Structure 1
Amino acid sequence: MQDIWCHIHSLMPIDAAARAACLSRTFLSSWRCYPKLDLGCYPKLTLTRRALCPKTYGADLSLRIGSILRNHSGTGIEELTLFLYEDEEYIFPISLPSLGVRSSIRSLELRSCVFRPTPELGPLRGLTRLALRDVRITGLKLECLLSNSLALELLDLIHCHRIIFLKIPSVLLQLSCVKVRGCSYLRAVQNKAPNLSSFTLYGQVSKLSLGATLPMMKVFVMRCDKVIRYARANLPPIMPNLETLELGSTFEVNTPMLPSKFLNLKHLIIQVNGETLSPSYDYFSLISFLDASPSLETWWLDHESVFEGSSHLRQLPECHHDRLKSFEVIGFSSAKGLVELTCCIVKSAVSLERLRLDTLCGDIRCSDGNDSDSWDICEPISEALLEEAIRGVAAIRKYIEDKVPPTANLIVLEPCPRCHTTTVDHGW
């Protein structure tokens, strides 16, 4: 008879099979031999709100999750993912119910829950990836968890608003990547992990200490006010091995020309919000990054700007760069500094293969547009942005197009002739 129940259970989808195991002792027995749990060397368990029964809340929800984890104690779970509702108040177990689960787990991802780890949780010896999103956990509790996860390689925190001070302990010898995004109350980050090579931070912090890992850093991503000037002035001497730099800013000041160099920088991404920049901001000052990065291969510049142009363009004498192959601007406008920057790159980057100038900030275009990712109708834009896009096209035709060498492919994404129509004085 047991074989019949096991066969019936094996025909169910995994979420239905899990619910049945929670509700029935008969199916609980057959759950342990459920065939879809036999995933070879990579067992994975994902518990969503739908799989856990939408009408289950509070203590019943905790019991149900705990029951499922206990039933998997012999399967050697390596990936555990728990997705609940954003307003869910489920408290993830302080201690995993089985030493077998705690020892085998490699990846732990939690969303929309309360997590209060304590020393009683014990070491998660095999944990290499920890991802928390909309999880209510304090910095002190997280530090406790990290101190017991010695094999951790990736830490990813999104919208964990209770973390004010993030401390990463020195015992994490394998930790190579940290991502912190949208943790709005975070004020300080202190890292002591010695081998961190990739760091991402979206948000304004008053104190950032990456410790002795700075020479190891190969990828650095940061978004906060004045970060572009900060990076140019401070990072070259302390991050000599940096290969990828991504910067985002809503309020920025001009970038100075400095003697320091990013000797190994290959990929540069800069995003600025032109709507919050001062009208005196000079895009041409970004040429400092080209001057400082002899190994630069790709540069992606994303901005939104509505400025008037000028017919008198500056140039940098004796500026030469032989590695840059791709330069892309999202939201190209007639801003004088931006036109000057592009002209200088075209003139100095002798290895340039691709120049892509998008005048509409990456907006979705219809099938009649000149972008490969096309839709049936263009995304609506304001009249001011449309007028500036047309001025940007005029600036490209007048100052840039004839300077592009035949070895480089110039791609100009213009307003759509079908969806975007207006009469504009180019002002050139």
Structure 2
Amino acid sequence: MGKPAALQSDQRRPRHTLASNESVATVDEIQGSPSPCHQVDGGDSKDGETSGYSIPFLPEDIWRRIHSLMPVDAAARAACLSHTFLTSWRCYPKLTLNRHTLCSKARGGNLRCRIIDNILRNHSGIGLKILRLHLCSEYSSFPYIDNWLQVAVTLGIEELTLWLHKKYKFPCSLLSDGVRSSIRCLQLDFCVFHPTLELGPLRSLTRPRPRDVRITGEELECLLSNSLALEHLDLCNCKEIIFLKIPSVPRQVSYLRVWGCWDLQVIENKAPSLSTFSLIGQVSKLSLGEASQMMKVLSLRHANVVCYARAKLPSITPNLDTLVLGSSAEVNTSMLPTKFLNLKHLSIQISGATLPPSYDYFSLVSFLDASPSLETWYLEVSQEDMEHESVFGGSLDLRQLREYHHDSLKSVEIIGFSSARGLVELTCCVVKSAVSLERLTLDTLRGGGRCSGGNNGDCSDQICCPVSKAVVEEAFRGVAAIRKYIEDKVPSTTKLIVLEPCLRCHTTTVLDYYGM
């Protein structure tokens, strides 16, 4: 069947008009010259039908809906081909402007600035809801940014992401009364932001995300106090914040994540609904307020956090459901009478380059004893050289908890399993006491980074991530410890999964520890 005449004529047009990597630039060029767009769906029409190659007749609002669901580069190309889509392109609700969408052939800052300027002006005031400007440092010398934002950020905007890679001062005047009523998500990266109480209420803002932003704690408090619908706060690398205060006014705040704010000393929360809190870094004072009693998910990452959590958190956050702990250095955890009565999911990551031989993995059994409702336990130990006493040296007697039974634990995963005596003793204690255990996974190489061939010897172009000879040797010792001390203790109702060193990638040196 021959192709329609209109489509044949479309193929005779210059190729640069349809080049996929020139989508935005091409749209910008043809918006002032609509004739090419009629090559696809133009022509004589009658009762919604067109001669030649045509698209189905549908109401304009349906075509706009279809167009709005396309990625921005595909939407721009569609506007090049169709008058219908060219019309809806001017109402396209979400724009992501970065190196990719501006096309690689639009080289030079001046050309790209003209493209951005034309695109934003053609979308001004006609339905733009999401604007993401990811601009590189080459734009820092151009004075257009203020003008672009004034044109694009208008009544109806719901999400604004500004990533400039420079110290751009975000104009608070941009958040006019109409914008304050509609904007829901405001993410600012690499800029200066100085909100004041005079800013006025942001009635719809639920998720402010300052990242690498120069803002003080007092200024952030002004923003939060004005954010009446605030639900999530994600704060990253804001180095000028020393005192972080979450006011009580936005009562719906349920999620707070703070990471990379290395000068932060005090966190004071007065929001009563906070249920999920994540902190990377250590502060001298942490006050969760009345929300601590209802906290469900808590993630803390700093040195000695495992010992801190066991000693302090049962009384501070008694209703925790999920606890995630990450530490680069640790001291032994003590057996204490306090309990995590409602804790169901526990994750502990200890990533010291070399944990001191004095650290006792068996001390982590304190968490098992303190958490009668625990269902899943993930433990990751990452160290380059294992200096602990091996289970293959010294006494053959292993420590255990006397007459102890855990009725809820179903899944345990240990990453970086080694022959360290304390780690073997901890695992044996889990196997013996967790009568409901369904799955035990012991990974001797810290997980991830394995080739698709795995232990089956299958051919694959991929290889496992390289590890040192010492790590491989200790991994084989860990496998031997599993075979000798753990495997025969695992009941038939528990599935034991042992992830060994890869037989294809990790056996360049002949290692045979299985007979130990």
Q: TM-score, normalised by structure 1?
A: 0.88
Q: Which residue of 2 aligns with 1:330?
A: 415
Matched, 1:79 2:159: yes
The Cα of 1:181 is off from its aligned counterpart by 1.0
- Matched residue count: 411
* Alignment correspondent of 2:268: 190
1:186-211 Cα offsets, whole Å, 9 max, x none, are 12111111221111100011111112
Give the alignment partner of residue 125 of structure 1, picking from 203, 208, 233.
203
Deviation at 1:291, TM superposition (A): 0.7
Distance in 2 separating the partners of 1:383 and 1:362: 17
Deviation string 1:394-417 (CA, Å, 9 cap, x unpaired) is 111111111111111111111111
Matched with 2:405 is 320
Aligned to 1:154: 232
Post-superposition offset of 1:161: 1.5
In the alignment, what sits opposite 1:218? Answer: 296
Indicate the SS of the match to 2:320: coil
Q: Does 1:358 align with 2:443?
A: yes
Deviation at 1:423, TM superposition (A): 3.6
> What is the percent sequence identity of the aligned residues?
60
Q: Distance in 1 between matches of 2:187 and 2:461?
A: 35
SS at match of 2:143: helix
Q: 2:121 aligns with which of 17, 28, 53?
A: 28
Q: Does the CA contact (< 8 Å) of 1:247 and 1:270 recur in 2?
A: yes
Kindly state the Cα deviation for residue 172 of structure 1 after the two structures are TM-superposed: 2.4
Structure 2 CA distance for partners of 1:289 and 1:29, relative to 1, 3 Å: closer
1:348 alignment partner AA? S
Root-mean-square deviation (CA, aligned residues, Å) is 2.8
In 2 relative to 1, CA 237–397 (structure 1 residues): closer, same or farther, beyond 3 Å? Answer: same
Q: Does 1:255 align with 2:340?
A: no
Alpha-carbon distance between aligned partners in 2 of 1:401 and 1:191, rounded to the nearest angstrom? 48
Greater C-alpha radius of gyration: 2
**SS at 2:367 equivalent:** helix
Structure 2: distance between partners of 1:84 and 1:375: 39
Residue of structure 1 equivalent to 2:141: 57
Query: CA distance change for structure 1 residues 27 and 194 in 2, over 3 Å: closer, same or farther?
Result: closer
The superposition leaves residues 356-408 of structure 1 with CA deviations (integer Å, 9 ceiling, x where unpaired) of 11111124111221499x97111000111111111111111111111111111
Q: CA deviation at 1:150?
A: 2.0
| Partner Cα distance (2:164, 2:363) in 1 | 47
In structure 2, the CA distance between the partners of 1:269 and 1:169, relative to structure 1 (3 Å rule), is same
Q: CA–CA distance in 2 between the matches of 1:115 and 1:275? A: 38
Unaligned runs of 5+ in 2: 1-30, 36-78, 103-111
Q: CA deviation at 1:31?
A: 4.2
Secondary structure (helix, strand or coil) at the match of 1:90 reads: strand
Amino acid at match of 1:63: N
Structure with the bigger RCO (C-alpha within 8 Å, sep 6+) is 1
CA distance in 2 between partners of 1:93 and 1:122 (Å): 14
Matched, 1:283 2:361: yes
Give the whole-Å Cα distance in 1 for the aligned partners of 2:142 and 2:501: 53
Report the Cα distance in structure 2 between the residues aligned to 1:275 and 1:2, rounded to whole angstroms.
62
CA–CA distance in structure 1, aligned partners of residues 317 and 140 of structure 2: 50
Q: Could you say which residue in structure 1 is the equivalent of 2:390? A: 309
Secondary structure of 2:357's counterpart equals coil
The code of the aligned residue for 1:420 comes to: H
Amino acid at match of 1:317: R
- Deviation for aligned residue 1:11: 4.8
Equivalent residue letter for 1:347:
K
